[in-house]
Amino acid sequence: MTAPAAPTLKVAIVGVGTIGRGWAALTAASGWETTLYDTDVPAADRAVAEIGRRARALVALGRAVGETAEAGLRRVTLGRSLLQACRDADWVIESVPEDLHLKQRTFENLGQLVRAEAIVSSSSSGLPITETAARCRNQQRCVVVHPLNPPELIPLVEVVPGKFTSPAAVERVRGWLRSLGRIPILLKREVPGNAVGRIAAAVWRECIDLVLAGVMDVDDIDRAVSLGPGLGWAAAGPHLTYHLGAGDGGVNVFLQQLLQSFEVWWGSLAQWNRLEPEQVRALTAQIERAYGEKIDVLREVRDRRLAAILRAIEAARKAR
Ligand SMILES: NC(=O)c1ccc[n+]([C@@H]2O[C@H](COP(=O)([O-])OP(=O)(O)OC[C@H]3O[C@@H](n4cnc5c(N)ncnc54)[C@H](O)[C@@H]3O)[C@@H](O)[C@H]2O)c1
């Protein structure tokens, strides 16, 4: 369940597509004042309705309190300009498309119009803030705060400071994330794709390879991940899993017994870094065949499972 809100925080969300709407559903569901800005005016209008739906879905899933969410939704407004949306904000969350030049321009503009003490974060999946905020004023308050999709449901958030980000800005934003019920993890330096994206990309490349090589069908490989390592990793990450993998001897014995096998497997893993157009077509066709239902139906089922998994993990953590 989302933690009680910090009542005075004002958030501005710049770019209200998939991720911006998720951030807004989360901040609104926590009762925070949320202003939206998007250059696509019809999309921004549509976003308001979707943010309401997603914030209320959080309540239905037991992840937010109804009264707080309704109060927060009454405090969602649309900014007519970037200036109007951001000038009073304590925290500006940039969620425009993953395009370095667009983000650099956005940060340059934001630097000129937000309060000097406001935090300006980027939701970027992999662009370093050192480059994104290269031309931004007061760079010490700029930081990557990378959510997972859907941001309102998955608590893990990566915080990635740049060369100029101040430790005070990092601490402030981590505190705000915790009061939104998030679990912030800190990267000590910038790497392309941040940590979560790199891990996901490595696993997905192998999954795609197994599908395109005809070793497994899409639905079976998806089950292999979510009921195999994914299930174990939800309880204990890969290092703890292997530390527990060889009896009382721990990881030391595990490595003695299995490192050689791992080295053989590592040597045979997929290594490519681009897909040809016909491979993209083949992959798309196989995924669409495996999951025939409408996207919104599939998303609702996924979100219900996510909420149930989170409830179970939280209950188990409390019991420990
Ligand atoms: N989609 C994901 O799964 C995911 C997950 C985590 C992080 N991210 C990151 O979040 C960011 C946004 O991704 P998304 O998937 O929401 O993209 P999106 O295309 O769904 O939404 C981007 C929105 O930004 C708006 N926009 C474009 N230029 C703008 C500008 N100059 N000012 C204001 N608004 C502008 C667009 O109209 C659109 O509504 C990217 O950096 C992406 O890497 C995406």
pLDDT in tens, the chain (320 residues): 544 444 569 999 999 999 999 999 999 999 999 999 999 999 999 999 999 999 999 999 999 999 999 999 999 999 999 999 999 999 999 999 999 999 999 999 999 999 999 999 999 999 999 999 999 999 999 999 999 999 999 999 999 999 999 999 999 999 999 999 999 999 999 999 999 999 999 999 999 999 999 999 999 999 999 999 999 999 999 999 999 999 999 999 999 999 999 999 999 999 999 999 999 999 999 999 999 989 999 999 999 999 999 999 999 988 87
CB-based pocket (< 6 A), ligand 1:
14-20, 37-40, 43, 95-98, 102, 106, 123-125, 146-147, 149
- Residue that the structure tokens 């425009």 belong to: 96
CA atoms of 310 and 142, how far apart (whole Å): 30
Ligand 1 nearest atom to the CA of residue 124, by list position: 41
Find the 258 Cα to ligand 1 centroid distance in Å.
Answer: 43
Kindly write down the DSSP assignment for every residue of 119-159, as one continuous string: EEEE--SS--HHHHTTT-SSGGGEEEEEEPSSTTT--EEEE
- Cα(174) to centroid of ligand 1, in Å? 22
Q: Which helix (H) or strand (E) holds 14?
A: strand 10-14
Domains of the chain: 10-192 (3.40.50.720), 195-319 (1.10.1040.10)
Residue of the CA atom closest to atom 9 of ligand 1: 124
Please identify which residue in the block is written with the tokens 């940039």: 94
pTM: 0.93
- Cα(151)–Cα(233) distance, integer angstroms: 20
**Cis before 4? omega within 30:** no
| Continuous H helices in the chain | 18-29, 41-60, 66-74, 82-86, 100-113, 129-132, 167-179, 194-212, 218-226, 229-235, 238-243, 250-268, 277-290, 295-319
